[in-house]
Chains A and B, each alone.
Chain A
Amino acid sequence: MKRTEPTERDTGGIGRRRLLSAIGGSAVAAALAGCSTLLSDGGGQQSDDGGDSGGSIPEEPIQAGLLTFTKGAPGVLGIQAQRGAELAVQRINEAGGIGGQRRIELDVVDEGSNPLDSYNQFIEEGKEVTFGPISSGTHSQIAPEVEKNEVVNVGTDGTVTTLYEETVPDPTYSFRFQNYDIMEVVTMAREAVERIGADNISTVAGVNPGYSFGEDEMRVFTQAITKLTGAEVVYEGFPELGASDMSNHITSINSEQPDVTFSSLWGGDVTTFVRQASANDMFDSTTVFGTTLYSAAGDVPADALAGTDIYSGSRNYYWGHPALGNWQPGRELFDAATAQDGVTVPTAHYMSGYGAVTAWATAVEKAIDLLGTYPSQDQIAQMLEGHGFFTPAGYHNMAEDHQGSSNSFAGAMVYDDDLGAARLDDVNIYSAAETAPPPGVAGSAWLDSWSG
C-alpha cells in the first residue's frame, strides 16, 4: 500500500480527504489505523465523508464489555488484550467518538471466575457490544449465548478451530478477530519446513498444555506437518496448565530426539519449560517451534533463552515488523502500549484486544456513513461480514464466515537486553491464504485436501 507518498504539498502531508477515503472515511478509522498524525491537522474532528448524520445518532455513550483474564497465570495474555482494547477505545474517544458523537465506555471483567455469569451480566446491564474472551473453553460456552442474545460479540481470542465449525456453525452476531488455532499452527508447520527443510523433518514431538487448546493445536499440527513432510509423531506430552515440573516430558524428548518439537505452551509455562529444557540439554536433541511462546516475551528472563533453539509465532501482530523506525503507526502503538501498566512489549494478544475493538468501531462507522443513522445490531453484524480495516499491524479482513483473516508472523525467539524482553529475529510473514482454509471450509478437511 503506497500510502506513505505525500502528494498534497500545500498541506504538508497527505490530503485528509484522500487519506480518509483510503482508510474508510472517518477520523475514528484513521485514529485506529494509526495514521492520525499523517493528517495535516492532526485529526480529532468529525467525520466529513458522505453520511449526513443529522442528529439521528444518539448522544449517550456506548456501553461495551470486555471479558478477559485480569489476573492469575492467564493474566499474562489477558492483560495484554485489556490494554489493547483500552488503547483502541481511548483513540476512538479522542477522535470524537463513534459517529463523532458517542464515546465508548469499556467495562473490563475478569474471565477467570464464572465467565458465563459475567457475560450474562453484561447483557443484563444492556451492553451494546461485548468483546473477548481469551479462553477457548469460555468462547465455546458463550458463543451460543451471543447468538441467543443477539448482541454482537467480537472475540479477541478463544481461537479454538471448531468454534464456527461445530459449536456455532452459522453465526450471525458472533465474530472472531484474531487468527485462530489452525492459522497459527499451520504458520509454525510452514515455518518448520522453511527453517529446517521438509527432507530433514522425519520425527516430531509435542509438549502442549493439557486442555482443549493444547490438544487442538497438537492435533492440527500433526495433520499439517504430516502432509508437508511425512513425519511421524514420536511423543506427545500434555503438562497441565501451571505445571511446575515438566522434566518427564523433557526426558522423553531427549530420549526420542525428534527433529521438531511443537509447543503451544503460553505465559508462565513457557519460562518453566524453556528453563527446565535447557537444564536437561534438550536443545541438543531438537528444535522447538511454538505458536504462542512469544506471549511470554515480557516474562521470560534473560538467561533462560541462552543456548536455546526456539522459533515462535506471533499470530497477526509482531511489534518489530515492519521495523519501528520505518513504520510510524507501529512506533506510536509500541510507545503507547509500553507506557501502559503491565506491558513490557505488546504481544499478539495486545492486538487481539485492539483489533477486536477496531473491527467493530470501523464497521459501525461505515454503517453510519451508509445509513445516516446509528445502526442496529443486525446491521452492524451484516456490516462486519467481509469488512476490511486497518490497524498498525496492517490490513485485516473479517471474512463472511465471521473469522478474521490477517497475515501471520514467526521468527527466532531471542532475548534483547536493551529491550528487557524477548524479541523475534529474522521474521517471516505468511499470508492468510497460506494458513487459513477458505471461508466455509472446515480446517481438518482443508488439511486433508493438501497434496504437498
Chain B
Amino acid sequence: MPERVETDGETRYRFLGVEATRREAVALALGVVALFAVPDVTRLSDSLQLGVIHQGLLFGFAAVGLNLLLRHTKLTSFGHAAFFGTGAYATAVLAKYAGLQSVGLLLLGAIAAATVMAALIGALSLRHTGLYFALLTLAFGQLLYAIALGQSALGGSDGMPIRPGPANQPLLLGTTFEPAVYQILTYYLTVAVILVGLFVMYRITQSPFRNALDAIGQERTRARFIGLPVRRYVWAAFVISGVYGGVAGGLYAVVRQYVRPEGTLFFLRSGDILFMAILGGFRTLVGPLIGGVVLIFLQDVGQDVTQYYEFLTGVVLLVLVYGFPRGIVGSFRSGGVVSERLGQLRREPSAVADWARSAVRTTERKAVESLSSLRIILFGVD
C-alpha cells in the first residue's frame, strides 16, 4: 500500500515504484480510470469514437518515445514516423508473407524490426545535433517512405492489409472475435502496453541514465569530458525511442488492419508526432500521450465541424506557442502558464482587466511595427 515519504518538505506517496505528490497521484488515478472507461464512454456519444481516441493514444505513445530524445538529449527528430511505419509494415509483412496470425507474435515482430531500424538509423545519426539531426532523420524517414511506396511487394501507394489466416483477423490468445469486440479487446491491449510503457519511461527518468542524458543534452563536449560515453548513451536513447514508435506502429496495424505509406511513414506524420509531444508538454512524461489524443481528436472533431479543420489545428498550435509553451500538461504544473495565471487570479481577481489591456497594447504595437517594416521594404530605408 502507498507509503508516505517526505522529501524537500513535500509529502509524496510511493506505490509500486512510482513516487508522486497527492495531486499527481489523484491525477494519475483519474487518468488510469479514464483510460479504462473509454470504450464505455464512447458508446454513449456519437461524437466520441473509440477508434479515434485509440489512434490518438497510439500516436501519443510514439510521441512519448520521441520525447525521451527531445526532453533530455535535446534532439529534435523529424523522422520518428520511420519507426512507427517500420512497426506497422513489419506487422503487415509478417501477416502476409510469414503467415503469422497471433497478435502477440506480430507485435514481437514489430518490436524486433523497429529495434533494428532504430539501431541502424541511430548509429548513422549519432554525430549530429540540432538542425542537422532533424534533417538527417527526415531524410531517413522519407527514404523508408519512398521504399514502401515504390515496392509493389509492400503494396505500393495502396498499402497492405493485415488479414492473416482464414478468419481475416489476427488472433488474440488464439481466438477470433466479432469486429466490435476485437476493437475493444485490442484497445485494452493498448492500454496495458501504454501503462507498461509509461512505467518503464518513468523508471528511466528516475535513473542515473536520465541525468546522463540531460548532461549530454545541455552540453555534449562537457559531458564527454566528464567521462560519459556520449555516443553509446545517445544511441541507447535513440533505440529506446524507436522501440516505442515500433510498438505503437505494430498496434496500429493490428487494430486498423490496414497500413498505407502516407499515414505511417510520410514526414507529415513525423511532424504530427513531434507536435503532439510539444502540444502535450515536452517537459513532462505524460504530456506527449495527452498531446496525441488531443491532436487526433481535434482533427477528427474539427472535420465534422468545419471543412477548415487544418486552420483550427494551426490556430491551436499558435495559441500553444505563444500562450502555453509548456503544452497542455506542462501548463498545469507549477511554473506553467495555467497554474501561474490561476494563482494570480486567486490572489487578485482584477488581474483579468490588466491582461486584456496589455494584450490590446501589444497587438497595437505589433501592427504599427509591421506596417513600418512593410513601408521600409517597399520604399527603402528612411
Number of chain B residues whose Cβ lies closer than 8 Å to a Cβ of chain A: 15
Cβ–Cβ < 8 Å partners of A141 in chain B: 161, 258
A141 to B260 Cα, complex, angstroms:
11
Answer whether A211 and B156 are a contact pair too, CB < 8 Å, given A113-B303, A144-B168, A148-B168.
Answer: yes
> Judging by beta carbons under 8 Å apart, are A144 and B163 in contact?
yes
Nearest CB in chain B: distance from A321 CB, A:
34
Cβ–Cβ < 8 Å partners of B159 in chain A: 137
Is A215 on the interface with B (CB-CB < 8 A)? yes
A149 to B179 Cα, complex, angstroms:
9
> Judging by beta carbons under 8 Å apart, are B157 and A140 in contact?
no
Q: Is the interface of A mostly helix, strand, loop or mixed?
A: helix
A210 to B158 Cα, complex, angstroms:
10
Cβ–Cβ < 8 Å partners of A215 in chain B: 152, 156
Q: Mark A126-143, 1 if CB is under 8 A from B, else 0.
A: 000000000011001100
Nearest CB in chain B: distance from A65 CB, A:
15
Is B256 on the interface with A (CB-CB < 8 A)? yes
Cβ–Cβ < 8 Å partners of A113 in chain B: 303
Is A324 on the interface with B (CB-CB < 8 A)? no
> Judging by beta carbons under 8 Å apart, are B157 and A210 in contact?
yes
> Judging by beta carbons under 8 Å apart, are A137 and B168 in contact?
no
Is A212 on the interface with B (CB-CB < 8 A)? yes
Q: Mark B147-180, 1 if CB is under 8 A from A, else 0.
A: 0000010001111010100001000000000010
Is A120 on the interface with B (CB-CB < 8 A)? yes
Interface positions of B from 332 to 367, Cβ below 8 Å from A:
none
> Judging by beta carbons under 8 Å apart, are B157 and A212 in contact?
yes
> Judging by beta carbons under 8 Å apart, are B158 and A137 in contact?
yes
Q: Mark B47-65, 1 if CB is under 8 A from A, else 0.
A: 0010100000000000000
Answer whether A212 and B158 are a contact pair too, CB < 8 Å, given A117-B51, A120-B51, A144-B163.
Answer: yes
> Judging by beta carbons under 8 Å apart, are A212 and B156 in contact?
yes
Is A116 on the interface with B (CB-CB < 8 A)? yes
Interface positions of B from 285 to 313, Cβ below 8 Å from A:
303, 307
Cβ 8 A contact of B258, one of A71, A116, A211:
A116
Cβ 8 A contact of A116, one of B49, B163, B168, B256:
B256
Closest B residue, CB atoms, query A240: B157
Question: Inter-chain contact count A-B, CB under 8 Å?
Answer: 34
Nearest CB in chain A: distance from B152 CB, A:
7
Cβ–Cβ < 8 Å partners of A117 in chain B: 49, 51
Cβ–Cβ < 8 Å partners of B303 in chain A: 113
Cβ–Cβ < 8 Å partners of B158 in chain A: 136-137, 140, 211-212
Cβ–Cβ < 8 Å partners of A148 in chain B: 168, 179
Nearest CB in chain B: distance from A218 CB, A:
13
Nearest CB in chain A: distance from B56 CB, A:
13
A281 to B161 Cα, complex, angstroms:
43
Cβ–Cβ < 8 Å partners of B49 in chain A: 117, 121
Closest A residue, CB atoms, query B183: A120
Cβ 8 A contact of A211, one of B157, B161, B168, B256:
B157
Cβ–Cβ < 8 Å partners of B258 in chain A: 116, 141
Closest B residue, CB atoms, query A124: B180
Q: Mark A236-266, 1 if CB is under 8 A from B, else 0.
A: 0000100000000000000000000000000
Cβ–Cβ < 8 Å partners of B156 in chain A: 211-212, 215
Q: Mark B66-79, 1 if CB is under 8 A from A, else 0.
A: 00000000000000
Nearest CB in chain A: distance from B269 CB, A:
14
Q: Mark B220-234, 1 if CB is under 8 A from A, else 0.
A: 000000000000000
Cβ–Cβ < 8 Å partners of A145 in chain B: 179
Closest A residue, CB atoms, query B159: A137
Interface positions of A from 191 to 230, Cβ below 8 Å from B:
210-212, 215
A120 to B258 Cα, complex, angstroms:
14
Closest A residue, CB atoms, query B161: A141
A274 to B245 Cα, complex, angstroms:
44
Q: A116-B258, A211-B158 are in contact. List 16 more A-B contacts (CB 8 A).
A: A71-B307, A116-B256, A120-B179, A121-B49, A136-B158, A137-B157, A140-B161, A141-B161, A141-B258, A144-B161, A148-B179, A210-B157, A211-B157, A212-B158, A215-B152, A215-B156
Q: Could you pull out 23 A-B pairs where Cβ atoms are within 8 angstroms?
A: A71-B307, A116-B256, A116-B258, A117-B51, A120-B51, A120-B179, A121-B49, A136-B158, A137-B157, A140-B158, A140-B161, A141-B161, A144-B163, A144-B168, A145-B179, A149-B179, A211-B156, A212-B156, A212-B157, A212-B158, A215-B152, A215-B156, A240-B157
Name A residues whose Cβ lies closer than 8 Å to a Cβ of B. Answer: 71, 113, 116-117, 120-121, 136-137, 140-141, 144-145, 148-149, 210-212, 215, 240
8 closest cross-chain pairs (CB), A and B: A137-B158, A211-B157, A212-B158, A144-B168, A141-B258, A117-B51, A116-B258, A148-B179
